[in-house]
Structure 1
Amino acid sequence: MAPLLIAIDGPAASGKGTLARRLAGHFGLPHLDTGLLYRAVGRMAERTGGDPAAIAAGLTAADLADPALRGDDAGQAASRVAALAEVRANLLKFQREFSHQASGAVLDGRDIGTVICPEAPVKLFVTASLSARADRRYRELRQQGADTIRPRVLAELAERDRRDSERAAAPLKAAPDAYLLDTSDMDADAAFADALAFIQRKGFRSPGP
């Protein structure tokens, strides 16, 4: 059987990152949060005034270690540079090389199943209602000490959804053969169990004890 390559797509705060990390740990696979690539490019471009496409072409794994990339500001910057076709093209090689590991891999983002790894045997599209995602992001930001209000979080998520789905370059959408996983009323354990059951139906078994 071919290596287990899991492509996970979905909008912000849908739970795809948590699910991707958990699946990677369960199967012992390397994991790449491809959103970090765009966060790094966006943050570096805003901080230095440099050309995002040139920054993307020179990006290295070390550039992904900055803890600030997990912040909401970096997420908004990522969505802006992700709309640039040249940025996406320059990051394509990085992502595909990561996916072509003999061990298999787990990648999560917004165009993994449609552009980066269309050949992946397992594709998941993780989504949730805008309201549920806003609640999650608001709680997360408050726990981090951010001074924000839920209406602002809701508006920012809605705007990010619009940019991600309407951009000309690799818009956010589910691959035709992706499994739709709606986590609106699921906790992380339920989402993991649902995804794992789908992967097993595809013929991939969990590692033994």
Structure 2
Amino acid sequence: MNSHSRHPINIAIDGPAGAGKSTVARLVANALQYIYVDTGAMYRAVTAVALERGIPPDDEEAVGRLAENLDVVLLPGDEGQRVLADGTDVTSRIRTIEVNRNVSRVATYEAVRTKMAEAQRRMAKAKGVVMDGRDIGTHVLPDAELKVFLTATPRERALRRFKEMGDQANITLKQLERDIAERDRMDQEREIAPLLRAPDAKFIDSTGRTIEQIVDEIVEWGRAASRTISAGEK
């Protein structure tokens, strides 16, 4: 699977909304020739489908039933990871403002998290996975060989999201910053698998740093962890 290492490992990258987890995780996976798993996209898919089917995001029972019967699949694509829900490509529909505002609520529901976590663990079973989210190192893959907690200031994260939206943005930077702060609060206070830094996770504040610097640092940590495992098995 991996030309850089005889012993592929699992890498968990956690952090709040807008910290750059998805971009960093994808580039780390490319560098190590690992598989990238965007867990946030899975929760967004559930949220998007619920909204499209007229299921109120605050109806935990109905959203839970939807998640239990929804087949969410992540596939590699030429322009990034594709997200399918029951065979339908929903990649372009999971980054809307409405999904942004409701995904944290949907992600608090036990039935939703249980179903998604089961799928995520299956993806990581063979090793050689870089998985990003909010509870990967603490809940989904607590035995990951490398854990990273990636963050940035709320202002920096809001600015990044605002730039990503470009001409499609129908929200002010100030409102986006408020939305991100509220999402942080919901992620940290939820009862099921809250956003926490694992005790053994390496900490990175990406404020003012380039993507390349962060990726290089994590890649080196990953290779070092793999070398340690290799040495231990000799």
TM-score above 0.5:
yes
Counterpart secondary structure, 1:70 = coil
Deviation string 1:73-103 (CA, Å, 9 cap, x unpaired) is 223221110111221112221111011125x
- Aligned residue among 115, 118, 121 for 1:96: 121
Q: Contact 1:181 / 1:195 at 8 angstroms: preserved in 2? A: no
Give the aligned partner of residue 201 of structure 2: 178
- Aligned residue among 10, 19, 35 for 2:15: 10
Letter in 2 for 1:7: A
Q: Contact 1:53 / 1:90 at 8 angstroms: preserved in 2? A: no
Deviation string 1:7-35 (CA, Å, 9 cap, x unpaired) is 11111110111010001111111111001
Counterpart secondary structure, 1:194 = helix
Counterpart secondary structure, 2:149 = strand
Which consecutive segments of 4 or more residues in structure 1 shift more than 4 A?
A: none
Tell me whether 1:53 sits opposite 2:76 in the alignment. Answer: no
Question: 2:227 & 2:38 partners in 1: Cα distance?
Answer: 22
1:108-187 residue pairs with structure 2 within 5 A? 108-141=132-165, 143-187=166-210
Query: Aligned pair in 2 of structure 1 residues 172, 144: CA closer, same or farther (>3 Å)?
Result: farther
Letter in 1 for 2:179: E
Question: 1:118 & 1:37 partners in 2: Cα distance?
Answer: 19
Deviation at 1:201, TM superposition (A): 3.3
Letter in 2 for 1:53: G
Structure 2 unaligned residues grouped into runs of 5+: 1-5, 56-61, 74-83, 229-234
Q: How many residues align?
A: 203
Report the TM-score when normalising by structure 1.
0.90
Could you say which structure has the larger radius of gyration? 2
Q: Contact 1:8 / 1:113 at 8 angstroms: preserved in 2? A: yes
Deviation at 1:2, TM superposition (A): 4.8
Question: 1:109 & 1:55 partners in 2: Cα distance?
Answer: 21
Tell me whether 1:27 sits opposite 2:52 in the alignment. Answer: no
Tell me whether 1:74 sits opposite 2:99 in the alignment. Answer: yes
Q: CA RMSD in A?
A: 1.8
Report sequence identity in percent. Answer: 35
Q: Contact 1:42 / 1:80 at 8 angstroms: preserved in 2? A: no
Question: 2:7 & 2:65 partners in 1: Cα distance?
Answer: 35
Deviation at 1:57, TM superposition (A): 1.4
